[in-house]
Amino acid sequence: MTDKLYKTKGIVLRTVKYGETSVIVTIFTELFGIQSYLVNGVRTSTKKGSGKASLFQPSAILDLVVYHNELKHLNRIKEFRWDYLYRHILTDVRKNAVALFMVELLTKCLKQPEGNATLFHFIEDSFLHLDESNDAVMANFSLFFALHLPVFFGFRITDNYTEENSFLDLQEGKFVAEQPHHPHFMREKQAFITSQLLKVMQPGELEDIKLNHDFRRNLLYVYEMYYTLHIQDFGTMKTLPVLKEILS
- Binned at pLDDT 50, 70 and 90, residue 47 comes out as low
Q: Which helix (H) or strand (E) holds 142?
A: helix 135-148
- Binned at pLDDT 50, 70 and 90, residue 248 comes out as low
Contacts 24+ apart (CB under 8 A), 218-225: 218/190, 219/143, 219/190, 219/193, 219/194, 220/142, 220/143, 220/146, 220/244, 222/170, 222/186, 222/190, 223/143, 223/146, 223/147, 224/146, 225/170, 225/184
pLDDT at 46: 53
* Average pLDDT of the chain to the nearest whole number: 92
pLDDT at 49 over 50: no
pLDDT at 166: 95
pLDDT at 188: 93
pLDDT at 150: 96
- Binned at pLDDT 50, 70 and 90, residue 54 comes out as confident
The whole-angstrom separation of Cα 107 and Cα 41 is: 26
Model-level pTM?
Answer: 0.93
The whole-angstrom separation of Cα 241 and Cα 245 is: 6
127: three-class secondary structure by DSSP: helix
- Binned at pLDDT 50, 70 and 90, residue 79 comes out as very high
The neighbour count for residue 189, using CB atoms within 10 Å, is 11
Q: Which helix (H) or strand (E) holds 24?
A: strand 22-29
The neighbour count for residue 241, using CB atoms within 10 Å, is 11
Give the residues across from 75 on adjacent strands.
37
Which has the minimum average pLDDT: 118-132, 137-151, 180-194, 233-247?
A: 233-247
Mean pLDDT along residues 3-7: 89
pLDDT at 36 over 50: yes
What ranges do the domains of the chain cover?
Answer: 1-85, 87-248
The fold of 87-248 is de novo design (two linked rop proteins) (1.20.1440)
Q: What is the pLDDT of residues 101-148, one digit of tens each?
A: 999 999 999 988 888 999 999 999 999 999 999 999 999 999 999 999
Q: What is the pLDDT of residues 195-227, one digit of tens each?
A: 999 999 999 999 999 999 999 999 999 999 999
Helix intervals (H) in 159-187: none
pLDDT at 235 over 60: yes
Q: Are 49 and 41 in contact (CB under 8 A)?
A: yes
- Binned at pLDDT 50, 70 and 90, residue 171 comes out as very high
Q: Are 61 and 127 in contact (CB under 8 A)?
A: yes
CATH number of the structural domain 1-85? 2.40.50.140
Give just the sign of the alpha carbon dihedral 43, 44, 45, 51.
Answer: negative
- Same CATH topology for 1-85 and 87-248: the answer is no
